[in-house]
Structure 1
């Protein structure tokens, strides 16, 4: 069996499932372009915890972790099953790698999980296990997390990091969508990061906070960029391939990458 790639996607706003933008169309096609996985592990920017939490529920709940959005979003469900056996295997692998990993029955599918999966796999018939990010642990922790999960790719498991390629909500321009060009401080960061990924400059990526132009402006906090490092670690090779590039709300880059 050819291993599945590890994937990083930008999930954008919860309204991505409703909005007519290129990133929505890309995600709708991505699931069909990949070999069908037997299960999906999602490292979501919206599942935050100290150390690593792994959702062990057989029937994870859908979490509408936002407010002030259209009613249609609160009516959406994503009834994919969990996979307790896979969750237990993940916990073992993470602990063997020296990571502080804990099972979590109570979490479910936040919008970092169900928004992209609703578009990629709308039938919700593939088991899903959610894994947390630690906002204070930094890129190397998340690369190690992904590396611990990399062997699962040989067993038909899709490792999906779900975050944002840029994520400064304070400078977001609602209504801009794709009509307005991204400002220079966004494009400088996107271009530098794309080059580092495609050239396999993993050390630069791991130290992006100091080396990438406008890094802190694009990511005032790190949680939405950390799933990229989980995908990088799970991919194994250190290089990535850009699958998609677009921008919404002028300053949110929706880039996606495959690793391995």
Structure 2
């Protein structure tokens, strides 16, 4: 089976919605539709018909288009079982370790609490794609609105164990500001400095910085390196447990 065609659809001010299309069957899923209109336009431009809605978490900027898209296309909504009470009209709910068809391709579900307590991510191995909502960003991670540092660090540890070639399809274009923060705590990282310069070039040209690869994140994302002694020392937490280092990095980012 050929890999999915994945189309990035900008929405709201800085959200990314994703269309996943299987050319062989015509199956087409949308991940985290912040609003309906850009999705409808992107589908029409390609002659595709929506067959599925997929949600990673309950925030309105990830489910705001659900109702209109479901009404127009008559398609099922798949989302996190733990957020059943907070995402209306889901037709199928999934949790950690489940497998589910997304645009006809097998996806593994990972529970990734931290940003919200019921957040999930979808990994599609045959397309080297991870749809992680607001858990993991290019050079960052989501705000810890509902979970604990221990939960969030475990979630990130789970995701960083995926194959390094995995492409990271996250929920927002935050990469340039994330890079500025990363440099503030890891300024001696040559790979980070080179990546930050490329990010600046892309944004100046109006280009997206997403997807990144997990390999790039492992080298340059400070939130994935909370168990690196050098990172711990850089944030004044030498010898501390990784979860304490993560919490300190997140605290600094919150006030950056």
With normalisation by structure 2, the TM-score equals 0.29
Structure with more of its chain in strand, by fraction: 2
Q: Which has the higher contact order (CA 8 A, sep 6+)?
A: 1
Which of structures 1 and 2 has the bigger CA Rg?
2
